[in-house]
A and B are shown apart, each in its own frame.
Chain A
Amino acid sequence: MSEGYLTFDRVTKAFGPLPVVEPPFDLTVDRNEFVVFLGPSGCGKSTLLRMIGGLETPTSGEIRLDKAAVGPPDRRRGMVFQSYSSFPWLTVAGNVLFGMRYRDDLSTAEKRDRARHYLTLVGLADFADSYPNRVSGGMRQRVAIARTLAAGSDVLLMDEPFGALDAQRRESLQVELRRVQQTDAKTVVFVTHDVEEAVFLADRIIVFSQRPARIVSEVDVNAIFGPDRPLSLRDEERFFRTKTELLRLVRRTAGSEP
């Protein structure tokens, strides 16, 4: 935590008179850390995520990435949404290539190689020529992840990316995402309201109150499970216990706040 790769420095946000983040929000995320923002729907956690991406600006305070204040959106901070995550008019490979469209530092051949590499990494090599509407919702999310990785983003910002998937797809994508994040060494900020998802994916969970967003608790999941998260972790006693404790905490938070 001493490194301070991504930092929120006394950040607040209000939409008009409506406070979304208050009191001032402080947080430090390490390089290659997987941080999950966990909180009830509409609590303001997505707004915090969008502020990292430059899609919203803080009302006061500052967000810094690698010691420099973040500005308008650029490809260093790639966003993956829950829906409309891939472009339907491009093939799967076309979508991944689109991630590198605005990179002049790569030759066409390099772009092709990178696209193939990331398609393989997310297990989509066989679907390169399919259109997004012809593949499953889970595959469309893989496309979006591969595209963001191919673009060369340093930070992956994920706004409930698996929220619209069925339970099985969601589980397998969580395993994949965690694996990809470990192999490709990326910093991830992941927003969800699903406690189990948070526990499975996160190095560290930030638990939020109802709006306006403030931190209720921080859970160092790495201290409990370590960095490796195989699917079998879900069946373990300690996973179940952590999940239950956190669920209780979230329930208490939801009950005690207006």
Chain B
Amino acid sequence: MSKEAALHPIEQSAEKTPEPTRPIEPGESDLNALFTLRGKPSRRAEALVAVVACILVFVAWEIAARLRLTNPIFLPAPSTVAATFWRMSTEGDLLLHAGISTLRVWAAFLISAAMAIPIGILMSSYRVVGAALEPIVDFIRYLPVPALVPLSIIWFGVGEETKIFLLWLGTFFQLVLLVADDMRRVPHEYIETALTLGAKPRQVLSDVAIRAMLPNLVDSLRITLGWCWTYLIIAEIVAAQSGIGFVIWTARRYMKTPEVMAGVIAIGIIGLVTDQLLRQLHRRAFRYL
């Protein structure tokens, strides 16, 4: 008997462990994980917390506005902003302006990407290109876009070209470095493996290196697209008769705070939807990760 006990010391001690005094509710471990340092709660629990937090903020804001704790000219109630947003979308032409802004963003973004992807790839693939371009790119990258607005107007006037140029300016130089970095991060082993399988340098680039960098590249593009919206507002505030920036700026002139906020929310929604779509695309295209 004693020998048998010695063979199963773990089971023995497990039996002696006192029962938990309280039965564990389903889902309770999940809630505990939320409050544990570096705990790993489920996605559902996290989503729940996010939704509840959002609702709390809006409810607090609404109450503060209703009780007149805030001046409605500065901070209108969320319900007012939502109603304004709805009215501007259905009766006004907020959607038209949003569409115009989206077109501008995508036009500039596509031009930036079309230039930045090949140049970035070449910069980290061939040192001669990198050495030649890096100082220039690094310099321009740190120039604040607003500082170049006057120059842009002198060059391109106040038409679409100026807006596209400003957006391009704000994104191209950032993106080119991101692309170069994505290419640099492709493991050297992939390149050398391909070479010893008989690939020519050009084939290594097209069949292996670019394919290997693709997931990171899509991420870089997604981030850059977000920046486009930042510069869009600057461009549309300075010189525009249309677009969300124009809507916001016009509303500001008449102190129509709900309309200003509605415009901001429109940008937020477009940004969120685009970002989620691109994330989804990423997940589907790169299932192997």
Contact = CB atoms under 8 A, between A and B. Distances in A.
Interface in A129-152: 131-134, 144, 147-148, 151
A116 B57 CA distance: 60
B196 A79 contact: yes
Contacts, number: 72
Interface string B19-48: 000000000000000000000000000000
Interface of B: 187, 189-190, 192-193, 195-200, 203, 207-208, 211-212, 214, 286-289
B208 A55 contact: no
Given A75-B196, A89-B212, A81 B189 contact: yes
B198 A103 contact: yes
Contacts of A98: 197
Contacts of B214: 89
Interface in A60-112: 72-75, 77-79, 81, 83-85, 87-89, 98-99, 101-103
A87 B212 CA distance: 8
Nearest to B186: A84
Contact of B203 (A78, A102, A103, A133): A102
Given A87-B212, A101-B207, A78 B196 contact: yes
A85 B189 contact: yes
Given A87-B212, A89-B212, A133-B289, A99 B197 contact: yes
B198 A81 contact: no
Main secondary structure of the interface of B (DSSP, over half): helix
A102 B189 contact: no
B74 to A, nearest CB: 52
A75 B198 contact: yes
A6 to B, nearest CB: 15
Contact of A81 (B193, B207, B211, B286): B193
A79 B288 contact: no
Given A84-B190, A102-B203, A89 B288 contact: yes
Contacts of A144: 193
B196 A53 contact: yes
